[in-house]
């Protein structure tokens, strides 16, 4: 009706409130006696650990790195995801009683499963190997890969990048590498990308933020050669979304080149496991229940084909947990059907709102580039209330009692706070008054074919 509710800002507000007030997750009521091994403490592994623990299973996570979080810690820069918040969120989950073994890289999954007496395994090792390119470079020391660059910065070993840095690629990693270079003191950070803005994989807002911080983007350009600080660049054309070389060349000076050409997953050590199949890009093939071709071994997150985001990885962890739980009980997990999507034309709200979403405070680009401090602020209590009150609860009953009051036959029974209503169909005449007044279209009238 006006603008969408900023759900992520409200979730963030609640997350911050939970940390502030030290809210704890409720532990499971009973234990299953089953043991699950999770390999990798990124968002996918941690999400699976949370759901499996809540379902009563004993969970151990084996993590190769020195700290949990995966790419949330070593990829996404601190100015977008502050480390104190991230680690506190993870700790809340670990406090459920999850075993976390750090600095432990798994190389033989079947052996770990047998020796640890695990009933099932969920692998979530992400995609950490930077894709290579064959650009001839005289001084390879000047060429870094973006993932290693961001990781070293995170570990406090920022590499020397000089005054002028070129970043090669058009995804979010390229934007993050450029913005990080700027924060490390590079006077100029320029992104070189072979397509145009309409065809870049980075989010629009990421590119906008990067540009506002003074990052320059050279669209339709590829690097052909790196000779000390001189880069030979070829101008490209775009035909049907594909970059085509034009034969026109330029030169550019850069003290360092950061390659951000995407990541591959390190799955070679899984090749010996019977039944597991891989796609040509090295990702692991899983079924709709997230199980690999090997019974009892499940996988998710960046290491399986699909979109690579924290949201998807977290969702995979939950989906795998539900399916592992069902598999352990010799049943199948069937996701309950979602309510149909209700758009504004189906609502019967008795008021109209024309209120814009409450925007969060942002640091100015000048302030932002001075440090790794978080750029986007959170809501205050009042702002969070304002924003949540804009929610029209489309398709979801919020117990306004409108139907209860409207029904002429007393066919609607209140079940108590949070439990909504029951309908007595013997008393119901199908007059539809309840549905016609329901502000959020949570009641659907269905033809009763038994009535002739």
Cβ closest to ligand FAD, residue 64 vs residue 189: 64
Rounded-to-integer distance, Cα 279 and Cα 192, Å = 29
Our finding on whether 109 is near ligand FAD (CB under 6 A) is no
Burial of 225 (0-12, 13-18, 19+ CB in 10 A): middle
Site for ligand FAD in 27-56 (CB under 6 A): 39-45
180 lies in the site for ligand FAD, by CB under 6 A:
no
The answer to whether 176 contacts ligand FAD (rule: CB under 6 A) is yes
Binding of ligand FAD by 169 (CB under 6 A) = no
Q: Extract the tokens encoding 185.
A: 């003191």
Let me know how long the chain is.
452
- Residues 85 and 78: their CA atoms lie apart, in Å, by 10
**Minimal distance in Å, beta carbon 363 to ligand FAD?**
17
The CA distance from 63 to 283, in Å, is 19
Find out whether 243 and 236 touch, Cβ atoms under 8 Å: yes
Distance CA 4, CA 7 (A): 8
Which residue number, 319 or 441, has a Cβ lying nearer to ligand FAD? Answer: 319
φ/ψ (deg, to 5) at 261: -110, 15
Report the C-alpha gap between 410 and 412 in whole angstroms: 6
The CB-of-5 to ligand FAD minimum distance in angstroms stands at 20
Note whether 308 binds ligand FAD by CB under 6 A: yes
Stretch that binds ligand FAD, among 122-130, 132-140, 410-418, 422-430 (CB under 6 A): 122-130
Between residues 148 and 232, which has the closer beta carbon with respect to ligand FAD? 148
Tokens of 340: 């149909």
64 binds ligand FAD (CB under 6 A): yes
Nearest to 119 by CA among 328, 285, 301: 328
Closest approach, Cβ 203 to ligand FAD, in A, equals: 8
Q: What is the C-alpha end-to-end distance of the chain, expressed in Å?
A: 40
Selected binder of ligand FAD within 53, 173, 267, 369 (CB under 6 A): 173
> Does 106 contact ligand FAD by CB under 6 A?
yes
By the rule CB under 6 A, 302 interacts with ligand FAD: yes
Q: Applying CB under 6 A, does 179 fall inside the site for ligand FAD?
A: no
Stretch binding ligand FAD (CB under 6 A), from 17-25, 132-140, 301-309, 318-326 = 301-309
Min. distance of Cβ 308 from ligand FAD in angstroms? 4
Q: In what order do the strands lie in the sheet with 143-145?
A: 143-145, 256-259, 164-168, 188-192, 216-218
Q: Which residues contact 231 (CB under 8 A, 6 or more apart)?
A: 166, 192, 223, 225, 251, 252, 253, 254, 257
Scanning 21-29, 64-72, 411-419, 421-429 for contacts with ligand FAD by CB under 6 A, the matching segment is: 64-72
Residues of this chain that bind ligand FAD (CB under 6 A): 39-45, 62-65, 70-72, 75-76, 105-106, 124-126, 128, 147, 150, 172-173, 176, 301-302, 308-311, 313
């Amino acid at each position: 009706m006006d603008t969408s509710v900023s759900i992520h800002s409200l979730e963030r507000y609640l997350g911050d409130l939970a940390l502030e007030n030290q809210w704890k997750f409720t532990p499971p009521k009973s234990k299953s006696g089953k043991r699950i091994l999770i390999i990798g403490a990124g968002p996918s592994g941690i999400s699976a650990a949370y759901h499996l623990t809540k379902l009563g299973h004993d969970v151990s996570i084996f993590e190769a790195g020195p700290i949990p979080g995966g790419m949330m810690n070593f990829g996404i820069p601190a100015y977008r995801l502050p480390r104190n918040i991230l680690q506190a969120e993870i700790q809340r989950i670990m406090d459920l009683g999850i075993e976390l073994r750090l600095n432990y890289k798994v190389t033989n999954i079947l052996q770990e499963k047998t020796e640890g007496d695990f009933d099932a395994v969920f692998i979530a090792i992400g995609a950490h190997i930077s894709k290579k390119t064959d650009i001839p470079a005289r001084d390879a020391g000047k060429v870094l890969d973006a993932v290693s660059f961001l990781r070293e910065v995170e570990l406090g070993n920022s590499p020397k990048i000089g005054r002028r840095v070129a970043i090669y690629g058009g995804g979010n990693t390229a934007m993050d590498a450029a913005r990080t270079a700027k924060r490390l003191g590079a006077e100029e950070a320029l992104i070189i990308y072979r397509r145009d803005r309409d065809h870049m994989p980075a989010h629009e807002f990421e590119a906008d933020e990067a540009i506002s911080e003074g990052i320059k983007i050279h669209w339709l350009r590829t690097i052909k050669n790196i000779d000390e600080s001189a880069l030979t660049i070829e101008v490209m054309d775009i035909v049907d979304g594909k970059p085509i070389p034009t034969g026109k060349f330029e030169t550019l000076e850069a003290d360092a080149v950061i390659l951000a050409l995407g990541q591959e997953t390190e799955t070679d050590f899984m090749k010996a496991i019977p039944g597991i199949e891989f796609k040509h890009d090295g990702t692991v093939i899983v079924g709709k229940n997230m199980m690999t071709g090997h019974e009892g071994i499940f996988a998710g997150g960046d290491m399986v084909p699909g979109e690579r985001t924290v949201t998807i990885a977290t969702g995979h962890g939950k989906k795998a947990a539900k399916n592992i739980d069902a598999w352990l009980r010799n049943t199948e997990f069937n996701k309950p059907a979602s309510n149909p999507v209700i758009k504004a034309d189906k609502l019967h709200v008795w008021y109209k709102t024309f209120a814009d979403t409450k925007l969060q405070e942002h640091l100015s680009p000048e302030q932002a580039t001075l440090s790794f401090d978080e750029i986007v602020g959170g809501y205050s209590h009042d702002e969070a209330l304002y924003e949540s009150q804009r929610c029209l609860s489309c398709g979801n009953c919020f117990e306004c009692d409108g139907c209860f009051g409207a029904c002429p036959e007393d066919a609607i029974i209140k079940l108590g706070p949070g439990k909504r209503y029951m309908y007595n169909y013997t008393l119901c005449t199908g007059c539809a008054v309840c549905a016609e007044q329901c502000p959020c279209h949570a009641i659907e009238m269905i033809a009763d074919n038994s009535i002739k």
